[in-house]
A and B are shown apart, each in its own frame.
Chain A
Amino acid sequence: MSVVNPDIGVLLVNVTLLALLFFVAIAIARLRSLFAIVMLTGAYSLISAMWFVAVDAVDVAFTEAAVGAGVSTVLMLGAMLLTARTARVEPNWKRLGPLAVCLVTGAVLIYATIDLPAFGDADSAANSHVGAMYLQRTAAEIDIPNVVTAVLASYRGFDTLGETAVVFAAGLAVSLLLGFGERSLSASHKPARANLKGVLVPSNKSDHHVVLRVVAKVLIPIVMIYALYVHFHGELSAGGGFQAGTIFAVAIVLYSLLFGITAALDAFPVIWARSIAAFGVLLYAGVGFWALMNGGNYLDYDFVLPPDDPDYGPEDANTWSQHVGIILIELGVLFAVAGSLISIFYAFAGRAPEIRDEDW
C-alpha cells in the first residue's frame, strides 16, 4: 500500500519552495558581486525557513530565520565591507573539474536514495524508536507540551551544553582575531560643534537618519521584550534559549547600525558582552554540577530540587524540578548566545578598515 502523502497542498508547497531554493542557489553560483551574493544567501536561509514550517519543523524554522537569515547576513556584510566587493571570474576550463566531481557525487547520492524511507513514512527507522519514545514520555516525565524543547534541554542536555560551549568558543576566537572594537573608539571621534540654535550636536549626526532613529527607539525595547517572551514560552510553543539570545543580539545590532558603534559601545559595553557569554556557559554547567551534588547524575534535572520522598527511584518523575532545571539552562543558553553574538558583531564592526577607498 502506498505511503505517498495524498495531500496535494503539501506537495505543491514542497515543490514550489524547493524550486525557489534551486533558482536562488544557481543565481549565487553565477553572480560576481559579493553584495548580491550575501543578500541572496539571506534569502536562501529565509526560504528554507519557510520550507521548514511547511514540513512541521517550527522550532527549526524559527532558529533558521533568526540565525541564518538575520545574524549570518549581518556578519557576512560586515566581513564583505572589510575585504572585497566583487569576485573574480573563473576561466571556463577551471570549472570542468568541480562540475564533474559534483555530477558524479550527485549521481551516487541519488542512487543511494533508493534505499531511503519514503517521504512522510511514520514507520521508518528514524521515526519509530527513540523519536516516538520522546513523544510518549514527555507528558509524564517533564510535563511540558513542546517536545523539541524537552528533548533539547532535558533528554539531550549534553548536546546542548556542547553547542553552547561551541558558540562561546566562536565568540572568543573571533574576538581574539579581530579585537573587541577598540579601534572604533580611537578613530573618528569628532568633536561636537554648536548648531544654529546654540545647541551642541556631535558632528557625525546628520538629518538623514531621523526617521529610522525614531522608529528604532520605538522598536528596540519591543524587540528585547520579545526576546524574553520567546525564551519563557519555549516550553509552551516554538521558541527557547537560542532564538531568544539571537533576537536580543539583533536588537543591539540594530541600535549600533543606526546610532553608531561608539554609541552602542557606550550603551552595551564589550565587557558586558564577554561577561554575559561566560556567565551563560557557567550557569549551564553549574546546573549540572548542582544536580550532581544533590545526588543525581550530571545534568539530571530531577535532582535540581531534590525530591523529599526517600523511596524515590529511577522510574519516578520530578516534573517541577525538571521545569526549574530547563528554565535555568535556557537562561544560560540565552546569555551565552546573546553575549557571543554581540561580541562577534562588535569585533567585525569595530575593525576599522585599513584599506583606503582607492584600493577597492
Chain B
Amino acid sequence: MAELLETLLSWFHVVREPVGGVLLVVGGLLAIVGAVGLLRFPDIYTRLHATSVTDTGAATLMIVGMILLSPTGWVALKLVFIWVFMFLANPTASHAIANAAYTAGMEPKIGPSGDTGEADR
C-alpha cells in the first residue's frame, strides 16, 4: 500500500509541471473564446452569457494549473482562497450587469440577427 502511494506520488511529481502548463494554456484559450463571443454576439444578454461562463471557467482552470505549478504549499493555499473569492465575485458581477440592464429596460433581442441577410423584424 505504501509502495503504491509512493509510485503515485512520483508520477504526480513527473506530470505536475506539464499538466499545470497545459491547464494554463487551455484556460487562456477559453478566455479568448469568451472574448470572441463578446465581439460576435448581438445583444447584451447573450454577450454576458458568453463572457461570464468562459471567464470564470478560464480563471478556474488557470488557478488549478497554478496550484499544480506552485513551489510551496502556502502558495497553493493562497491560490485556493483566491479561487473561492473569484468564484463568489465573478458570477455576482455578471448578475449585477444583467440586473442593471433589465432594470434599465433593455429587452433581449428575439429573432434572427442581421447576419442572415434578412431585414430586421
Contact = CB atoms under 8 A, between A and B. Distances in A.
A219 B81 CA distance: 13
B29 interface: no
B85 A222 contact: yes
B95 A211 contact: yes
Residue of B88, B92, B103 most packed against chain A (CB within 10 A) = B92
Contact of B99 (A208, A218, A219, A222): A208
A215 interface: yes
A209 interface: yes
Contact of B95 (A212, A218, A219, A222): A212
Nearest to A218: B88
Contacts, number: 19
Query: By DSSP majority rule, is chain B's interface helix, strand, loop, or mixed?
Result: helix
A211 B92 contact: yes
Interface string B63-94: 00000000000000000000001001100100
Interface string A63-80: 000000000000000000
A352 to B, nearest CB: 20
B91 to A, nearest CB: 9
A219 B103 contact: no
B89 A212 contact: no
B99 A209 contact: yes
Nearest to B102: A208
Interface string B95-113: 1100100110000000000
A212 B88 contact: no
Contacts of A215: 88-89, 92
Chain A interface size, under 10 / 10 to 19 / 20 to 34 / 35 or more: under 10
A219 B96 contact: no
B85 A212 contact: no
Contact of B103 (A208, A211, A218, A222): A208
Interface of B: 85, 88-89, 92, 95-96, 99, 102-103
Interface of A: 208-209, 211-212, 215, 218-219, 222
Given A211-B95, A219-B88, 17 more contacts: A208-B99, A208-B102, A208-B103, A209-B99, A211-B92, A211-B99, A212-B92, A212-B95, A212-B96, A212-B99, A215-B88, A215-B89, A215-B92, A218-B88, A219-B85, A219-B89, A222-B85
13 contacts: A208-B99, A208-B103, A211-B99, A212-B92, A212-B95, A212-B96, A212-B99, A215-B88, A215-B89, A215-B92, A218-B88, A219-B85, A219-B88
